Every structure is written in structure tokens, then in C-alpha cells.
Amino acid sequence: MQEYKRSFIVVTIILVQSFLILAGRLWYLQVLRGDEFERFSLNNRIRVVRVPAPRGRILDRQGREIIANRPSFDVYVLPKDIRDLGFLTDTLSTVLGLDVKNITSKIQAALKQDRFKPVLIAQDINRDQLALIEARKGSLPSVIIEVNHTRKYPHGKLGASFLGYLGKATESDLELYPGIRGDDMVGKSGVEKSWEAYLQGKHGFIQKVTDALGREVRWDFFEQDLKSRDSVQGADVVLSIDLDLQKAAEEALGDRSGAVVVVDVRTGGVLALVSHPTFNPSDFIRGIDAKKWKELIADPSFPLLNRATQGLYAPGSVFKIVTAAAGLKEGVIDSHSGFYCPGRYRLGSKTFRCWKPAGHGWVNLRQAIVKSCDVYFYNVVAKLGIDRFATYIKDFGFGALTGIDIEERPGISPSREWKLKTYKEQWYEGETISMGIGQGYVNSTPLQIALMTSAVANGGKLLKPQMVKKVVSPMGETLVENHPQVNHTLSVNQTILDLIRDGLVGVVNDPSGTGRNARLDEMTVAGKTGTAQVVGLGKGNHERFKDHAWFTSYAPAENPEVAITVMVENGGKGGAVAAPVVKQILEVYLKLKAEGNV
Amino acid sequence: MMLDRRLLKNYDWFLLSTTVVVSLVGLANLYSATYQTDLGFFKKQALWVSVAMMLMVSLSFLDYKTLERYSQHIYIVSVLLLLLVLTSGKEVSGSKSWISLGSHITIQPSEFVKLSLILVLAKFYHDDFEGGPYGFVDLVKPFIYIGLPIALIMLQPDLGTALIIILISGSMILFMRVKVRSLLFLLVIILGLSYPAWHFFLKDYQKQRIKTFLDPYHDPLGSGYNAIQSQIAVGSGKFLGKGFMKGSQTQLRFIPEQRTDFAFSVIAEEWGFTGALFTLILYFTIILWILDTASRAKDKFSMMVCFGIASMFFWHTVVNVGMVIGILPVTGVPLLLFSYGGSSTLTAMIGIGIVLGIRIRKFPASKEAIAL
């Protein structure tokens, strides 16, 4: 077959070339890119199962749980393991009481995208549902039950307004906290939000060997290169709040709308902080549903607003403390100065009324404070003038943030420049007069009033209010320890403060005092009532236009420990409505003190 | 049948033993691929290999002249079997390619058609004394031989086998040389037919396979899955491999058809570059050896039969390994002697048996006659 010799040579060359191409490709895949493919094969068979970390707890000053954790059983479906979609959705809908369409659309959306990623079907199912699913596990290979941790609120709504609520992590949360995943819950308000970085735990993981069907397999040879990491619980945040006092304050305010602030005048630690009405943090555990959220933000009683730190109100007569301090410091009055109160004060053509139409007659500073005579303070502020008065308003911390570690608003500290800037208008002298009794443009949060009161009580230190005492890691080490911080020292001296304090003691203890409802036998209470007009004096009888009732106080008068401010929205007279609330809280305070717990 | 002593003396022990080694390596490989799930496949294949070996050895003692004489009969029987498949075949995953013999044994006639076609083409060219190059008209008869089984196999449909048959017979025709003008003419016809073929004859999944070949990562969980997983298996074997029965891709069943079409990925993963290259060398040794037999053949028939069988091994090896290592599209082409499957194992061994028979008869009878 000599004539085919050349053909055989050609064929042999083709053969050798083909061999070289195949061998070359093997060399390329196995030697040049072997490490890369080795990683691929590792990723292929190793499924990383996340071990979710519980959030840190939130404790009261005595270490009692205010927010704790409990397990939540969440149902996921792994699309790639679905055998019979109809059976799956029917079963889940029957067991979980969910809409079939809803489940189907969720799964179908996932099937189009990543079939290897579990789809969340239901969160926090109950024990009965769990048992029903476990019983059907054999016929539902795609169903995964993941045990997560979720918030537990042993005291219900207690403290909700400052503790805050949780929500699903947003894009910006994911950027801010790299350790979290899309369906993690993060703090959206209150302490949960401001201490998120500490409360957040560190998720762990377990690597599992799975076969191509995603089924877990156990095989020693593959298990030796598995890794895992335990999850680390978030740090516990220990509040300066005292659970008992908080409860007492909430009970004392009761169903009324308003706020209560209890601070330690020596440290600035917040012992209780109430805002009512409030929301139920349990509604947010699984991420609030749209309907409920809409209801909450459309609620005319503003349950999401923390009235204690964000609610802005005219301070009313409690503001007379500032007027008195300014008058004394500026030498406009001294302790003996007297003014005559005929029940009204005239400025040009305008008449400003005293709350007591018959008038108080001749009153000195102490009497003016005790009886809360408006005309006296009209006179003082008229002599001061807006410019001098404005510096004292600022001095006492109004119009500025207090630096508390939850949401707050600064309020308004009015001045000539402020009005020009805000309204492009001149200042009228009449506006100064009403500001002398805490009406007009000035407004403040109950927290600011409480801090002003503390400053009077502690000798002039405007403290930074602190919700948190310390942060403790799960291993027991203290990560953060808050020490008292002075934001600002008042420009008025102790002599002036003593004069005011004398008046404040009289408010509660003198027979003619407006705050007698706060009087206690066991302890001398000092305080100041306030009745802040919502609209023009005496206009309208509607509940919404009733005055806000204020009472701010400290105790014991001789050696102050605690300041309490109460504001009841549309409550009426401060002495009648707010003072008894303070009294009720102080009674509990005394009991706690006797037990050595405060 | 009387045994000629010369046959034993000249017996091609090298091809026989290389074939036996490849089948044993293939069996070991199949053992690793299946021992986790179902060793039944391994046992069945072991049985097929033994039967096939006996058939191979028996055939080596059969004079190929007999095959020459009956080549057309064999061809007709195999085509009839293909018809039988279409009328009463067993459907497995969308194609009717098998006929059942009893309850446990199924055969795939399209595998045997390869051999019968090789025989009939060899006979055709043997009887023709022109010796090429051939013009277009001369190609009509071989085209009918080829076209008939191709059409029947496409009806099953079994794209992979049809492709292999085209490649084998095409190699044979080209080896016998075709006029350049006719070749160009053929090329134009093929290109002209490919457009309607794509639009009217190819099924969606077949188009998908071709598209996937161009970019396996386009549909990584669907049709590109096997190609990607196979490359991962091969690549992760690195130089020395993960060890026998320790290939994670294989053992955790990331490659769905590792028993059959993707068997080579198992050895590449578990024995690495060394094992894969060793296997490849074994195959090319067999092919070169058969080709060598062809080049020393006494007549055109035996030369063409050997060439056809060599090209059968060549195309099976190149198309299958090329698919496993990601340089050729995924088509259902088994690696002969390696992939699970009775029909392909029988076909491969029968082919080797025929070559053995030719090889031991290549020596001029006269020398032996003198010696005797």
C-alpha cells in the first residue's frame, strides 16, 4: 500500500498535534490554573451556614433586663431543592396560615435569580407550627428552619420611646456595619440605634460539606478542612435608668399624653424617661409591616415622638427660674425688690394679664416664685430687655442640644438676631414681656427643663444627660464607662441660686405655694409649677387647646439628688396636674433609696 | 475453527495488553465514580468488559476475509436494527436509542453501526480499483451508505453518535482522497444546508448546547453546568490529583454524567495531570498502533478497516476529552473503554479484535509455509 504512505504521514502529524492540544489543555487547567480550580471545587462543596449572633441586652442600672433575647424560628426555602412546588406551597400555606400566592411568587422570583440562596418565607413561627413542619420534613427537602435571635421585651412597652425599635438593615446600614447581612435587624431609634455598634454581635459560621444536591454529607476526608467560627453576642448596654423608677414614672403619668424626666442632679444620669403615648416595640421585631407603619406615622398622638427629648413646648412659668436668675445677676432686682401686682401689666396699649385676675398685691422675689406671680416677672424682664435676657436663656441651655445619646431637638432660644434671621422682622418689646413667663417664641424639651432644674440644684452645673452608664462585653469587660460631664457652668453664682432655691422650696412647702401637691413629709421637695398656654389665653374650651401642665422639681432640697420634670399635654394647671405626678415618683424614689438601690 | 500456530506466534500481545490496561483503568475509575451511590454500574460494566474481551479474542482468530465477504450483510442488519429502535425502542431521557434484550440488557445499535459502516466503506473502496482522487459522482454511493444510518440516528435523536459517524466516515473518505473541486463544492453545500438545519432541524436543547459551548458561563446552572463543573474537577486535580476515590467533584456528584460521558474528569481529578496524561498516552498509543497496522496492511480492505477503527478511537477520544476539558461542545460521546455502557465497550473491543485479526495475518503466508 505504498501509494498511501504520504497520507499516513499526514494522519500521524494530525494525531500528534491533537494529542499535544489535549495534553496542553490539561497542563493549562491542572498545572497553570490548578490552584484556582481547587478553590472553586472547595467553594462548590462547602456551604457556609451562618450562626447568627444575639444582640447585646439592654439592662437597667441594677443589671436587670429591660430588653433581652429569645430564639426565633424562621422558615426558609432553598429553591434548588424544590421537588414539588405545588405541594410545598400548599403545605406551607396550611401550616403557616399564609397566602399560597404570596409564597409562590416569592419562590418563583428566587428561582429566576439565585437558586442556591434561601428565601425567607416566615419569621418567628410558633412551636406548634414548628412541630408541624418538622413532622413533614421528609417530604419537604427544600425547607430550612433557621434559629435566629430576636428581641424579647419582658416589660412590654416600658421605656419604648428611649429604647427605640429595630428595623431591617438598609443599604446605608450595610455600609456602616460591614458584619451584617440584608435581613439583619438594626436599631432604628433610641438606645438601640445610638449604641448599635456595641449591641450588634458578631455572626459566626459553620462550614458544611454538601453534595451537588445541596444535601449535607459527612465524610472524614472532606471534613478536615472545614472551618467554623462561634458567634459573639453583642455587648450589654447598662442604662442609668432604674427599672422601678421608670415603672413608677410611667404609672404616675398614666394614660395622659406627656413626658417625665428624672435625672440624677449629681451625675446627669437619666433615671427615668417617659413619653406617652408610645409604641409597642414588639411590633418591630420581625420588621414592621407597611400597614402598621403607616398607622403609626399617621397617628395624631405621635406615638413615635419622644416627647421628653423631641417634644417642643412653651415652658410656661417654670421658665421664671431663668427670668429671676437673669434679673438678679444683672442687678435689675435684688431679694428685697418688690413689685405691685394688680392682676395685669400694661405696656403701651397692650395689657398682659397675671394668672390671678385679682392680682397678688405687693410681692417680692420669693413670693413671686412661690405664688408664680406673672406681673412680677413682666416687670423684671421689661427692665432686662430682650438682649440681656437672651444671653441667660442660652446660658441655661435652651436652644441647644443637650448631648443625650438618643434623638433630641434643640428647641428655640429667641433673640433679636434670631427673629430677624427667622422671620425677617424686628423684635417687639411686648414679645420680651411674654417670654418672661415662658411664653412666646421660647420653647424647649422637658429634658432641657430637667437639666436647668438640676443646674439650679447642683450649684450651676449644666450636665450632659446620660442614658447609658456603661457597656459591658459578653466576657465581662467594660468597654465604655460614662462619667459625669459638665456641658456648661451657669454664669449665675451660688448666692443667686440660693435665692431661687429658697423660692422653689416655698412653691411646694409654703401654704400659698402653687406646688403643694408635690409636698412630702419625709423629704423637702423644691419645685416650680407651669401652665403653658397652647393658644391665646383662655381661648376655646377644646381639649386640644387646654394648657400644658408643667412641674419641675428637685429633692431633697437641702442636698439635692434627683430632679424630676413632668409635662402633661393639655393637662391644665401644673400645680394640680403635674405636681402630684412628681410626688408619686418621689415616693417610690424614697422607697428605693431606703433599700439602697438609688 | 482450526488454530494456525503462526497466529499465536505473531499474536499482537502489545495491542491486546494495552487494551486490557485501558479497560482495567476504566473499570477502576468507574468504581471510584460509583461506589458511593450504586456499585451495580461497576459490576455490570465489569461483566460487559469480560464478555467484550472474550469476543475480542475470538474475533482476532476470525479471518478478516470473512468480514469482507459479509460486510454488506452486516451493514444491512445494523441498519435494520436502527429501524427496530425507532419502532420499538426504549426511550431514555428524550431519545429512543436502545432496544431491550430481556429485562436487564439493553443495547444501542447506533454504536455497532459505526463498525458496520467502517466495514462496508472499506469494502466499497477495496472493490474500487481507481484509487482516487474521487470526484463528486464517485461519492454518491458512500454517501448513501453513510446517510442512511445518520438519518435514522438523527431521528432518535442522538446527535453525538451521528457526529462521530460523520467524523469517522468523513475521515475514511478524505483518506481515500477527494478532488479539490469536489471538496470545495461539498463545503458550499454544507454551509448552505447549515442555515436551514439550525432553524428547522436542531432542537432547542441542541442549539442551547452549541451556544453553551461558546460561553458555558452564560447559563452556569443550566446547560453550562456540566461543562463548568467538569473543568473544575479537572483543574482542581492539579499535578498529582486528589487521590483515588477522593475527588470531591466526583464523590459529591457535582458532575452528573461522570459515569458515562464525563468519566475522564474523574481520573483527571483523582490522579491529576499525571493520571490524565497517562490515560491520554494509552489512547494515543492504541490509535497509533492501529494506524501502524493499517499502514502495513496487505490489502486495501484491511487497511481501510484499520484506518476506520483508528479514526473511531481517535474521534471518540478527542471529542470526549475535548468536551471534558472544555475545548469542545458537550455532546453525548462516550470515551471508549472508559465510559459506562455495554454497547460502546463491545464496539470498541470488537474493533480491536478485528485489528488484532488483521495484524496477525499481515505477514506473508509464504515465509511461514517455508518454515513449516
Distance CA A310, CA A454 (A): 19
Residue A404 CA from chain centroid, whole number: 10
Distance CA A515, CA A506 (A): 9
pLDDT of residue B222: 56
Interface confidence: ipTM more than 0.85: yes
* Beta-bridge partners for B114: none
pLDDT of residue B229: 82
HSE of B76, CA atoms in CB hemisphere, 13 A? 4
Best residue in A29, A32, A207, A211 for a mutation probing chain B (most B CBs within 10 Å): A29
pLDDT of residue B212: 61
Classify strands A143-152 and A338-341 as parallel, antiparallel or unpaired: unpaired
- Report the candidate in A595, A35, A557, A593 with the shortest Cα–Cα distance to residue A271: A593
pLDDT of residue A537: 43
Is residue B85 within 8 A of residue B156, CB to CB? The reply is yes
Is residue A525 within 8 A of residue A563, CB to CB? The reply is no
- Complete DSSP assignment for A225-236: T--EE--BPPPE
- In this complex, is the C-beta atom of B326 within 8 Å of any C-beta atom belonging to chain A? yes
Tell me which residue in A4, A38, A212 faces B236 most closely, judged by beta carbons. A38
pLDDT of residue A377: 96
Tell me which residue in B248, B276, B299 faces A26 most closely, judged by beta carbons. B276
Is residue B338 within 8 A of residue B317, CB to CB? The reply is no
Q: Give, as one character, the DSSP assignment of residue B27.
A: H
Which grid cell sits at A224?
A: 478536615
pLDDT of residue A535: 60
- Mean pLDDT, rounded, of chain B: 85
What's the distance, Cα to Cα, between the start and end of chain A in Å? 113
Distance CA B94, CA A296 (A): 58
- Please tell me the distance in Å from A296's CA to the nearest CA on chain B: 45
Burial class (CB in 10 A: 0-12, 13-18, 19+), B87: exposed
Question: Residues of B with CB below 8 A from A21's CB?
Answer: 327
Query: B210-239: per-residue pLDDT in tens?
Result: 666 666 565 555 556 777 788 888 888 889
- Report the candidate in A421, A341, A405, A410 with the shortest Cα–Cα distance to residue A379: A341
pLDDT of residue B260: 81
- In this complex, is the C-beta atom of B318 within 8 Å of any C-beta atom belonging to chain A? yes
Distance CA B233, CA A291 (A): 51
Q: What is the 3-state secondary structure (H, E, C) of B335-364?
A: CCCCCCCHHHHHHHHHHHHHHHHHHCCCCC
Greater confidence (B296 vs B4) lies with B296
Residues 275-304 of B with CB under 8 A from A: 276-277, 280, 284, 287-288, 291, 294-295, 297, 299-300, 303
The set of residues, in sequence order, having a beta carbon less than 8 Å from that of B111 and lying 6+ positions away, is B161, B341, B343, B344, B346, B347
* Beta-bridge partners for A391: none
Cβ of A44 within 8 Å of Cβ of B325? The answer is: no
pLDDT of residue A79: 81
Q: Render each residue's pLDDT in chain A as its tens digit; 598 residues.
A: 678 888 899 999 999 999 999 999 999 999 999 888 888 777 777 667 778 889 999 999 999 999 999 988 989 888 877 878 888 888 899 888 888 888 888 888 877 766 667 888 888 888 899 998 888 877 888 888 888 889 999 999 999 999 999 998 888 888 888 778 777 889 999 999 999 999 999 888 887 777 666 666 666 655 665 677 888 999 999 999 999 999 999 999 999 999 999 999 999 999 999 999 999 999 898 788 888 899 999 998 899 999 999 999 999 999 999 999 999 999 999 988 899 999 999 998 899 999 999 999 999 999 999 999 999 999 999 999 999 999 999 999 999 999 999 999 999 999 999 999 999 999 998 899 999 999 999 999 999 999 999 999 999 999 999 999 999 999 999 999 999 999 999 999 999 999 999 999 999 999 999 999 999 999 999 999 999 887 644 445 566 678 899 999 999 999 999 999 999 999 889 889 999 999 999 999 999 999 887 7
Tell me which residue in A1, A18, A213 faces B297 most closely, judged by beta carbons. A1
Residues 101-160 of B with CB under 8 A from A: 131
Query: B38-49: per-residue pLDDT in tens?
Result: 788 899 999 999
Cβ of B325 within 8 Å of Cβ of A22? The answer is: yes
Question: Residues of A with CB below 8 A from B295's CB?
Answer: 1, 4-5, 8
Other CB atoms within 10 Å distance of the CB of residue A182: 11
Cβ of B321 within 8 Å of Cβ of A8? The answer is: no
Q: Per mean pLDDT, which range of A179-183, B302-306, B311-315, B341-345 is the poorest?
A: A179-183
Map grid coordinates 427692665 to a residue. A383
Best residue in A17, A26, A211, A217 for a mutation probing chain B (most B CBs within 10 Å): A26
- Report the candidate in A365, A16, A65 with the shortest Cα–Cα distance to residue A241: A65
pLDDT at B198 over 90: no
Cβ of B252 within 8 Å of Cβ of A36? The answer is: no
pLDDT of residue A304: 93
- Identify how many contiguous H helices and E strands chain B contains and give both numbers: 15, 3
Cβ of A212 within 8 Å of Cβ of B254? The answer is: yes
> At B370, is the pLDDT very low, low, confident or very high (cuts 50, 70, 90)?
very low
- Residue A27, CA distances (Å) to A32, A34, A246, B226, B236 in order: 7, 9, 73, 20, 12
Residues 177-236 of B with CB under 8 A from A: 177, 221, 229, 231-236
Tell me which residue in A11, A12, A29 faces B235 most closely, judged by beta carbons. A29
- Please tell me the distance in Å from A36's CA to the nearest CA on chain B: 8
The set of residues, in sequence order, having a beta carbon less than 8 Å from that of A194 and lying 6+ positions away, is A187, A405, A406, A467
- In this complex, is the C-beta atom of B256 within 8 Å of any C-beta atom belonging to chain A? yes
HSE of A369, CA atoms in CB hemisphere, 13 A? 30
Q: Is A317 a catalytic residue?
A: yes
- Please tell me the distance in Å from A113's CA to the nearest CA on chain B: 11
pLDDT of residue A372: 94
Cβ of B235 within 8 Å of Cβ of A15? The answer is: no
Tell me which residue in B175, B238, B255 faces A30 most closely, judged by beta carbons. B238
pLDDT of residue B252: 73
- Please tell me the distance in Å from A115's CA to the nearest CA on chain B: 9
Judged by DSSP in three states, B241 sits in coil
Query: B98-156: per-residue pLDDT in tens?
Result: 887 776 778 888 899 999 999 999 999 998 767 778 888 888 889 999 999 999 998 88
Catalytic residue among A317, A372, A413, A454: A317
Classify strands A236-239 and A58-59 as parallel, antiparallel or unpaired: parallel
What's the distance, Cα to Cα, between the start and end of chain B in Å? 19
Kindly list the residues of chain A whose beta carbon comes within 8 Å of any beta carbon in chain B: 1, 3-5, 7-8, 11-12, 15, 18-19, 21-23, 25-27, 29-31, 33-38, 40-42, 44-45, 80, 115, 209-213, 217, 219, 221-222
Taking CA–CA distances from B256, the nearest residue in chain A reads A212
- Complete DSSP assignment for A448-479: HHHHHHHHHHHTSEEEPPBSEEEEE-TTS-EE
Cβ of B273 within 8 Å of Cβ of A31? The answer is: yes
